[in-house]
Structure 1
């Protein structure tokens, strides 16, 4: 493993699975858990650890099938339930019985919501999270475009990109190389990390378990456009609206404070995501699109906002911060601003206890 930043430690613990994690801060500090999303690892949060306020014990686990944790299979029929249960077991294995502050980036937004349903948490931060009705193939109200949820899941993954992941491609010779996909979709347009840091992050992406049980998952053929429906295994199926849902968040009996941070130029989670089949069909990239009446671009940001406004109306506290010009990872491409916003939010939650 490459040299870690000052004050950052790496360790492993056995919970439901063997979990590799990064840690900083005092062992008796108030726990903060950063949870990465799809095609990333704990190291995508490493830069936030040095210089963080000293009262916080910061933890960043590698989730199953990513990074250096055990590549246990993902049961997609549970949505992000495996990740959520792994997080609960991770905290238990570390002997953390006090409520933790949870940050869920992208995919992990659904996982931390499920954790809040299983145990008391101190706060939830949704960092450009997957929409509350999953990724792809829904109408604005969350109804699926087709009964079999065609147009979502592992079958819509780009096979060339998957091949390059499997082969460990570190090049810049194709728009579909992992390095170029990261730079084009994770960050704001034109943002590049320093080359040595970029190399670290690319190498972390390449630790992804490429399989039917990991990324992208298995798939089923469909009579509906575009000819593929989600299977039952692997991460992209877990993100399908067939299985992924956190629209119930406003019904939580105990409502922790919520922060939603969003990059205004996010192309992954957007009203018209560049990676979603409704948008790709409407733009002609994927042929045969049946039209907006049958398969509209998914309004992901609007869906998130609606659920969080319902959470607020039900008595929950919600703070919303948009990072102008940022992409899918404002904690990286606007790191200083994002960190200041986040630590201030945590301070505000302490004042309310």
Structure 2
């Protein structure tokens, strides 16, 4: 019994002392794990970005939705990649995740890594690195990310709770602070909406009958209301058939600070975005990033690293999946 408790203690200690770090897969003394890992992932991302620059928005969304699940105990653990089966419905099937895409690119990177260094690079690290590379390809900051995450062993549809498009600042902040992030971090990370699109169903209520008034949301520019009404029409449709609108109407495929300037002009597509300039706690922060492009990029890189490092699985916790869509 004493020996069992001692071994259990050593196992626990290895988890506690382990950590993620920059260059986790590069050669260390006599333990070369997978030095080509990051270059392999970058090559896959670059190949797809050349044809579909929208994958930057796709990876940012995937990364956020994996890391920000409020109910989940752990942070970025690739739980969003797990496919549902007859016994259990996974996070991927949750309403907020139905429009998440790019899974096949993660699978492609994983397949290449398994050929080079089997059972070594986690799917959680692949998402994080792929997102970082896509951000850089879109004109965003180039930054180092610590690696060494392990993949989670749980993925339940019932545990998905994420900030919604109509969330207030205080409501959204609860989800961000639950993951160790601050109000400032939230304003910065919502700046990821400088790329990507939103389906009409996520903002159509702002165009036609906001809060039951029978009128558009007064916080949205009237010209934008007319433009989006033309795009979306006046009838709701199934999600897969809904038109979309760019979240940043100015520089739609570039990571920059123009998102904040669009908000100042009342051209925020999602209510949660426009709330950044309407709520007194965030208005000054959003305005400052609108006038400081370099400052936004620097802070965005820091916030992305912080988001990807909170409560991750390390050491002997979790596993290294062989297939990102299924537990081993």
Q: Is TM > 0.5 for Structure 1 vs Structure 2? A: no
Structure (1 or 2) with the greater helix fraction: 2
TM-score normalised by length of structure 1? 0.25
Structure (1 or 2) with the greater strand fraction: 1
TM-score normalised by length of structure 2? 0.27
Does 1 or 2 have the higher relative contact order (CA < 8 Å, sep 6+)? 2
